[in-house]
Amino acid sequence: MAGIVVSARLALAAQPVIEPPQAPARARVGEPVEISYVVRWDGPPETYVIKPPTAPTLDWGKAEFVRLSVKAEDAATAATLILRVFPEQGGRFDVPPVSISLAAEGGSGAETPLESASVSLTVKGHGGRWALALPVAVVGVVGLVIAAFRWTRRGRETGGDATLSPLEQAREALHAARRRRLDGDFYACYRKLAEAAARLPEDEESRRLKKTLEDRTRQVGYQGVRPSDDELEGDMRDIERALARWKETTTP
């Protein structure tokens, strides 16, 4: 009987657990806040795969999951998910519980659903109506100037059409991927590479490239895989070559 009780306790201890979320006590309107959710389990990192979680919907701001890191600690593993919140109004608010699902056996086994506690945030607003109105007005004027400049520049480049073509959108995604690589944010880098691949014309090569980058994005973002410099450089060159071939087919 004692052996059964001990075995049951060990089985419970091996189950993944989610710790109380960690967040700053205060925030400000318009400034991003990061909340960390830590999931722990006994065993190596490959014991579980964390499924992409859904960010909560907020009526006082926006939220998105931006990174995941996985770290082995002795005979256990700690996975940290970062939720970035953008408050849009002042007051005291709650970030609702977040559901996080883990799949056993490297992603092919049974799933273990976890739910976090809610998080309370005190968001400091602007110092009065005029203090709010002035920055908004300045931003609005600057935004109009920038928009006019971009409209004029794109008009010269595209003969009057200010909308980016699919090829230009793919190039923009590639440029953004390069910036994310320099920042050391490899998950965001691969998300942008996958976005560029998704805009390629449909053929066998683009489908292969799209699947490769989608798989890499999941591995980097939700399995804690760190791509080597050669892998990352090779994936970027694949996109560059695909865009060059695309440009050749569209150039009269």
Q: Tell me the pLDDT tens digit for each residue of 58-79.
A: 999 999 998 888 888 888 999 9
Closest CA to 190 of 67, 63, 17, 28: 67
Residues 221 and 132 reside in one and the same domain = no
Give the whole-angstrom CA distance, residue 160 versus residue 154. Answer: 7
* Average pLDDT rounded to a whole number, residues 163-185: 86
Q: pTM above 0.85?
A: no
Q: Which two tokens stand for residue 95?
A: 């970030």
- Return the CATH number at 96: 2.60.40.10
Residues 53 and 95 reside in one and the same domain = yes
Over 50: is that where the pLDDT of 4 sits? no
Non-local (6+) Cβ contacts of 29 within 8 A are: 87, 88, 89, 90, 123, 124, 125, 126
188-200 tens-digit pLDDT: 899 899 999 998 9
Q: Is residue 218 part of a domain?
A: yes
Q: Is residue 94 part of a domain?
A: yes
Q: Is residue 1 part of a domain?
A: no
* Average pLDDT rounded to a whole number, residues 92-112: 85
- What pLDDT is stored for residue 229 in this prediction? 84
- Least confident among 16-25, 156-165, 239-248: 156-165
Residues 33 and 82 reside in one and the same domain = yes
Residues 23 and 116 reside in one and the same domain = yes
Residue 16 structural domain: 12-124
Give the whole-angstrom CA distance, residue 106 versus residue 200. Answer: 31
- What pLDDT is stored for residue 142 in this prediction? 54
